Structure 1
Amino acid sequence: MDKQTAAETATYRVNHITTYNYDTPVRVSHNLVMLVPRVEFGVDVSPSYKLTVKPVPLSITRREDYFGNQLHAFSLEENHRQLVVTASGQVKVTPARISVSDPSPSWESVVQGVREQTDPRWMDVCQFQFPSTRIFLEEAYAEYARQCFVPQRPILEAGLELTQRIYQDFEYDSKATHVYTPTLEAFGIRRGVCQDFAHVQIACLRSLGLSARYVSGYLRTHPVPGKERLVGADQSHAWVSLYCGTEHGWVDLDPTNNRICDCDHVPVARGRDYDDVVPVRGVFLGGGRHRIDVSVDVCPVE
């Protein structure tokens, strides 16, 4: 298990609605959905957490994928011009309380432990060192990261500085990139969204030989003082999980907001990059042009 100490716990009621509207009827569709949070250390998902689909399919199957994420599959074989997928339920988050002042091993020793198989987790961890569909290893990434990962520096300290550097050097711009923008392109223009920032940081870490995962989930947002929170104003989010050695295990870092992930972060799925954790994917016959609307609400439960 990853290191866990006494920490604040938050409970949320999550409601994630994805609506597809089609110009012409869809005759057949097959879909894979990854919207229910995975049960893991620090994350407690209520048994009542459920996925509903309209039109109602004959059946919805549920299984875990290779990475332990909750995956639902369903098919529709009736004409429909709208598809609504809703994932809702209660989840409790108890993140590890970790700070930059916590002692941690040098980043080189973490790389060495996995590479030489002396780390007891090496078999699980090593798969997140390699290139993946969206992330390639480049000297440009390593050069950028080395300004933080100087020789013999504690891995937590270096990882947090890289998180801060990406936060400072990159501008959040939802119009600069799209879901298929290559990571190297986002790195070059220093702009993008949370998906891009997570991919860039993972690319930097892996290019140094470290293990890093992509995490999708929800970020609870806080309303402006004096204003009520708006239903649907929360959002899907993405961040990074860095392997920090046997004592600390995986530590989640949010480069979009320059912070260690805490009770505001609700993890849903983990993988090598975005392609492993796409929330809704599928194929359909017919439909013509279509529009996708997404509403996410993360409401604290008192």
Structure 2
Amino acid sequence: MRYDLRLRIGYRYAFPVKEARHALRICPRTDRGQSVERLALELRPTPAELAADTDFFGNATRHLRLEGAHGEFAVEMRARARVSRGPPPAHTPTLRQIAQAAERCREPEGGSPIHHLGPSRLVSLPRAARDFAAGAIGAPDTPALKAVLALARAIQRDFLYESGSTGIQTRVEETLRDRRGVCQDFAHLMIAALRGLGVPAAYVSGFIRTEPPPGLPRLEGADSMHAWVDVWLGEEAGWVGFDPTNGCLALDGHIIVALGRDYADVAPVDGVLITAGPQSAWHNVDVIPLENEE
């Protein structure tokens, strides 16, 4: 499947920013069943310095420095991407076998399961998360694909999606207590639940294809960035995506931008700036499927 993608992010400041340094992770990845055919970035104001890099987890990153007073910072990314991510193998090891295999891993690179097993900056491993997973999955010898999909569906069923109900720093314990949140919270919860069982799980940010209600036109800019989870299902299956917000596998309708241990590793815009007072932010996304093109 091919998509035209557009992401726009902007910040407005109460008082002019004197200087700023930012790291951007907003460009689609070129692995895990994806390729990028076109890519363009527009930054306002124009950076005094701009450098492209790839971070430890393989995410395309832009580092930039802004000089001079500015009251607004805006980013627009346009890309054409191709996604061909078929279903995972029907037969997978059990979660117990995967946990045992993960313990034996020694590969040091960012895509290794060993980096996605323990607690991270935004994901603790409360016992309640592990207990929730055990209740959703059932027998520990359930094949991993079936077990993890059952966990994703349990989160979709038992937790209320409520926009604006949480923030970036919301902890897994709060999500478990309040039984509500957004895609970021559900991804963190699923990661905590799986890591508590010894199963490697990574945070994924990206775009998801959405469809307007029947008979209504698609609204420009109505989409937003999405979050889901990549789970290591053993050497043969590798990393497989699961979407706990929608209770499904993450296949050709999910376009990966960045991967990491939690949201802190993949924030679309990160950095430091010198200013005073509050700031406001906005962002919107267009995901346009090119169904009639070869």
Question: Aligning the two structures, in what range does the TM-score lie when normalised by the shorter sequence?
Answer: over 0.9
CA drift at 1:204: 0.3
CA drift at 1:122: 12
Is 1:109 the equivalent of 2:97? Answer: yes
Instruction: Describe the superposition over 1:175-199 as per-residue Cα deviations: whole angstroms up to 9, x where unpaired.
Output: 3211111111111111000000000
Query: Are 2:156 and 2:246, in contact at CA under 8 Å, matched by a contact in 1?
Result: yes
> Aligned to 2:66, which of 62, 76, 99?
76
1:86 corresponding residue in structure 2: 76
Query: Are 2:132 and 2:193, in contact at CA under 8 Å, matched by a contact in 1?
Result: yes
Q: Distance in 2 between matches of 1:75 and 1:198?
A: 31
1:1-302 matches, within 5 Å, as 10-46=1-37, 48-98=38-88, 102-117=90-105, 124-147=112-135, 148-286=137-275, 288-301=277-290, 302=292
CA drift at 1:239: 0.2
Query: Are 1:14 and 1:297, in contact at CA under 8 Å, matched by a contact in 2?
Result: yes
Q: Taking structure 1 as reference, are residues 114 and 78 closer, same or farther at Cα in structure 2, changes over 3 Å only?
A: same
CA drift at 1:139: 1.8
Query: Are 1:37 and 1:268, in contact at CA under 8 Å, matched by a contact in 2?
Result: yes
Partner secondary structure for residue 45 of structure 1: strand
Aligned length: 290
Partner secondary structure for residue 14 of structure 1: strand
Structure 2: tracts of 5 or more residues without a match = none
Instruction: Describe the superposition over 1:20-68 as per-residue Cα deviations: whole angstroms up to 9, x where unpaired.
Output: 122322221111110001210311012x312221111133101000000
Q: Distance in 1 between matches of 2:284 and 2:131?
A: 39
Q: Distance in 2 between matches of 1:30 and 1:126?
A: 31
Query: Are 2:105 and 2:114, in contact at CA under 8 Å, matched by a contact in 1?
Result: no
Percent of paired sites with the same residue: 36
Q: Which deviates the most, 13-22 or 264-273?
A: 13-22
Query: Are 1:37 and 1:267, in contact at CA under 8 Å, matched by a contact in 2?
Result: yes
Instruction: Describe the superposition over 1:187-237 as per-residue Cα deviations: whole angstroms up to 9, x where unpaired.
Output: 111100000000000000000011000000011110111111111011100
Q: Taking structure 1 as reference, are residues 15 and 287 closer, same or farther at Cα in structure 2, changes over 3 Å only?
A: farther
Query: Are 2:29 and 2:257, in contact at CA under 8 Å, matched by a contact in 1?
Result: yes
AA aligned opposite 2:130 = A
CA drift at 1:138: 2.2
Query: Are 1:108 and 1:152, in contact at CA under 8 Å, matched by a contact in 2?
Result: yes
Q: Taking structure 1 as reference, are residues 106 and 122 closer, same or farther at Cα in structure 2, changes over 3 Å only?
A: farther
Query: Are 1:221 and 1:233, in contact at CA under 8 Å, matched by a contact in 2?
Result: no
Q: Distance in 1 between matches of 2:181 and 2:117?
A: 24
Instruction: Describe the superposition over 1:226-269 as per-residue Cα deviations: whole angstroms up to 9, x where unpaired.
Output: 11111101110000111111111111000100110122111100
AA aligned opposite 1:65 = D
Q: Which deviates the most, 289-298 or 202-211?
A: 289-298
Query: Are 2:57 and 2:110, in contact at CA under 8 Å, matched by a contact in 1?
Result: no
Query: Are 1:145 and 1:205, in contact at CA under 8 Å, matched by a contact in 2?
Result: yes
Partner secondary structure for residue 160 of structure 1: helix
Q: Distance in 1 between matches of 2:194 and 2:94?
A: 14
CA drift at 1:158: 0.5
> TM-score if structure 2 supplies the norm length?
0.94
Query: Are 2:206 and 2:255, in contact at CA under 8 Å, matched by a contact in 1?
Result: yes
